[in-house]
Structure 1
Amino acid sequence: MRQSRTMSMVEAAANVVVGYVLAMATQIVVFPWFGIETGLVEHMTIGLAFTGVSLARGYVLRRLFEAIRDRSS
């Protein structure tokens, strides 16, 4: 069964939202171990930057694998 472009974006977005929440929690715990002291706003800004990259990566990879699947069918 083929996945539509819209559903590829929905899947990628859901994955990124969950990843963002986990990243925020991880940063808050791990940064102090390395002597990195930041406030909540900085954590959110860093998380948003990586979220944008992650969303684009997930979408592009999904579309790439869909194209590979289509060519092999």
Structure 2
Amino acid sequence: MKQSRLMSLVEAVANVVIGYGVAVVTQILIFPVFGLHTTLGQNLAMGGIFTVVSISRSFALRRLFEAIRVWTTRF
């Protein structure tokens, strides 16, 4: 069964939304260990940037693997 582009995006967003929370908490806990002191707002902004990158990456990979699946079923 083929996954639609919309459902690929929904899956990627759901995955990354959960990851966003984990990333921000991790930044808050780990950055001070390396001498990096940021505000909550800065952590949220950095998490947001990483989230957009991650959604794009997940979506692109999902579409690539779907294209590979379609291509290999032709032969």
TM-score class, shorter-chain normalisation, is: over 0.9
Stretches of structure 2 that go unaligned for 5 or more consecutive residues are none
Unaligned runs of 5+ in 1: none
Q: Which residues of 2 match residues 25-40 of structure 1 at below 5 A?
A: 25-40=25-40
Identical residues among aligned pairs (%): 55
| TM-score, normalised by the number of residues in structure 1 | 0.98
Q: Using the alignment, how far apart are the partners of 2:26 and 2:10 within structure 1?
A: 24
Aligned alpha-carbon RMSD (Å): 0.5
Q: Cα offset for 1:52?
A: 0.5
Following TM superposition, the consecutive aligned residue runs of length 4 or more in structure 1 with deviations greater than 4 angstroms are none
* TM-score in terms of structure 2 length: 0.95
* Aligned length, in residue pairs: 73
